[in-house]
Amino acid sequence: MNRSRLVLNKTIQIICNLFIVCLFTLSTSSIYANDWKENLRGYNSAMKQTEKPKIIYFYADWCHACESVKSEIFGNTKVQEVLENFAAVKIDVDQGENSSIVRKYMTIVYGNSGSYAIPEIFLVEAGGDRIVRIPPVNRTTPNNFNEYLNKFLSNKIPFVKKRQKNEVTRERPKKGPVNIQPYYGYMQAQFSWQPRNFALQSGLGEPGSNAPKEVYGIDTGFTFFKRYGFGVELYLGLAYYDQKIGSYLDGGLSFNILDLKGFQVWLTNGIGTGPFSVSSTHIFMNYYIKTTFMIGRQISLFSKMRFYFDYNTVFDMQNPYWSFGTGYAF
């Protein structure tokens, strides 16, 4: 009985000793096996080592991902072998003395917003101060981290300029509302002087069946050079949009491509801007095909098929709109 207890005690003692040895090995040799210098003093001393490139690791105790970098990357023996070629510094971002170093490096990546994330790892060339940031995708495994370090050592990683602004892709629509139009379909009374040469037009717009509600327009315009088969059109209008009234300008070139005894087809391409005071600069281009039937010399019926491009949507094509109207020529 005593003997078996003695054997059991001995076994437990051996296991405990082994466990302690393992813990000691892990804590001292496996993680941060390299000669890591720390914080401001360590950074300054590493920077004096001009013969070696530097690796600078920013971390904090509260940072969850830093634990993974510490154990999986810096704890890896193959990584540690490559790190022998570097002067290694780790910077605790929570230490007040490091604030200037943190600012210097984080500004490169995060700009001046004051917000940054960790872990971040930077490489600095030997004998210089050109800096490379290691992107997260290059530290997903010890192997690809080593690959990146080796590329750096063989000068295959392009340097970024010191304090370079973070290059980001900001996908933003231009300011101002999109998809608005002064008016879509409209009923228009047409007044003409010298009908084939010069026309004064005035119309009250109302939304077509497929047009946004609360968009009404009234405009007055001129058409010049109509007798030559084309017209230069210029309109000044008022649009009621978003419960506000704003003015707009619209103009363009119209070309009469067909004229058969009262049946006319006009192609127009135009550009307009507005409604002012309702939105910020809003520029639109529109193309429309206008078909006119003259009834006698004074009354006309016309329809327009309008293609509409909006500058604010990067000239994205909107749905074509049909509009119908009548005109009366004096």
Partner 1 sequence: MLFKLVSNIKSKYSWFLPFLLFLLFGFNACGAAAIQDEIDPDAFAWKYKAILISGDSSITAFDNARESVKRLLVSKGVKPGDIYELSRIKAKLRGRIKYTTEKNIENAFKQLKVGLNSACMIFMSSHGSEYGFSIDGVELFTPDELNALLIKYCGTQPAVVIVSACYSGIFTNNKMLHPNRVIMTAARKDRTSFGCGVENQYTYYDGCLVANLSAYRTWRSVALSARKCIERKEVGLLPSLPQIYIGQDVRTLQLPTR
Q: How far is the CB of 20 from partner 1 (least distance, A)?
A: 28
Residue 113 is a binding residue for partner 1 (CB under 8 A): yes
Strand order in the sheet with 131-133: 37-38, 87-92, 54-59, 120-124, 131-133
Q: Name 129's Cβ contacts closer than 8 Å, sequence gap at least 6.
A: 162
Interface with partner 1 by CB under 8 A: which range of 24-32, 149-157, 162-170, 216-224?
162-170
Q: In this chain, which stretch among 9-17, 40-48, 149-157, 315-323 interacts with partner 1, using CB under 8 A? A: 315-323
> Minimum distance between the CB of residue 72 and partner 1, rounded to whole angstroms?
6
Residue from 55, 56, 73, 123 in contact with partner 1 (CB under 8 A):
73
Residue choice 50, 137, 155, 161 for contact with partner 1 (CB under 8 A): 137
Cβ within 8 Å of residue 123, ≥6 positions away: 53, 54, 55, 56, 86, 131, 132, 133, 134, 149, 152, 157
Amino acid at 241: Y
Q: Confirm or reject binding of residue 206 to partner 1 (CB under 8 A).
A: no
Based on the shown chain and the rule CB under 8 A, indicate whether residue 69 belongs to the binding site for partner 1: yes
Angle (nearest 5°) at CA 92 between 91 and 93? 105
| Residue 171 in the binding site for partner 1 (CB under 8 A) | yes
Distance separating alpha carbons of residues 78 and 197, to the nearest angstrom = 86
What residues have CB less than 8 Å from 321, skipping those under 6 apart? Answer: 184, 185, 208, 210, 211, 305, 306, 308
3 state DSSP class of 255? strand
Nearer to partner 1 among residue 148 and residue 190 (C-beta)? 148
Tokens read off for 329: 């020529």
Nearer to partner 1, 72 or 125 (CB): 72
Question: Which range of residues in 32-40, 76-84, 103-111, 146-154 is near partner 1 by CB under 8 A?
Answer: 103-111
- How many residues touch partner 1 (CB under 8 A)? 59
Site for partner 1 in 209-238 (CB under 8 A): 211-215, 229
Q: Which of residues 22-61 bind partner 1 (CB under 8 A)?
A: none
* Closest CB 19 distance from partner 1, rounded Å: 25
Stretch that binds partner 1, among 13-21, 46-54, 96-104, 173-181 (CB under 8 A): 173-181
How many Å from the N-terminal Cα to the C-terminal Cα in the chain?
127
Q: What is the DSSP code (8-state) at residue 277?
A: T
Our CA angle for 26, 57, 118, nearest 5°, is 100
Is residue 46 within 8 Å of 89, Cβ to Cβ?
Answer: yes
Count of alpha carbons within 13 Å of 15, Cβ hemisphere only? 6
Instruction: Output 26 or 117, the one with its CB closest to partner 1.
Output: 117
Q: Does 173 bind partner 1 (CB under 8 A)?
A: yes
Q: Which stretch binds partner 1 (CB under 8 A): 8-16, 43-51, 64-72, 291-299?
A: 64-72
- Binder among 81, 316, 328, 330 for partner 1 (CB under 8 A): 316
**Least distance between partner 1 and beta carbon 67 (Å):** 10
Kindly state whether residue 305 participates in binding partner 1, applying the rule CB under 8 A.
Answer: no
Whose CA is closest to 180, among 221, 234, 236, 240? 240
Task: Catalog residues that contact partner 1 under the rule CB under 8 A.
Answer: 62-66, 68-69, 72-73, 109-111, 113-120, 135-137, 139-141, 166-173, 177-179, 211-215, 229, 242, 255, 257-260, 267, 269, 287, 307, 309, 313, 315-317, 319
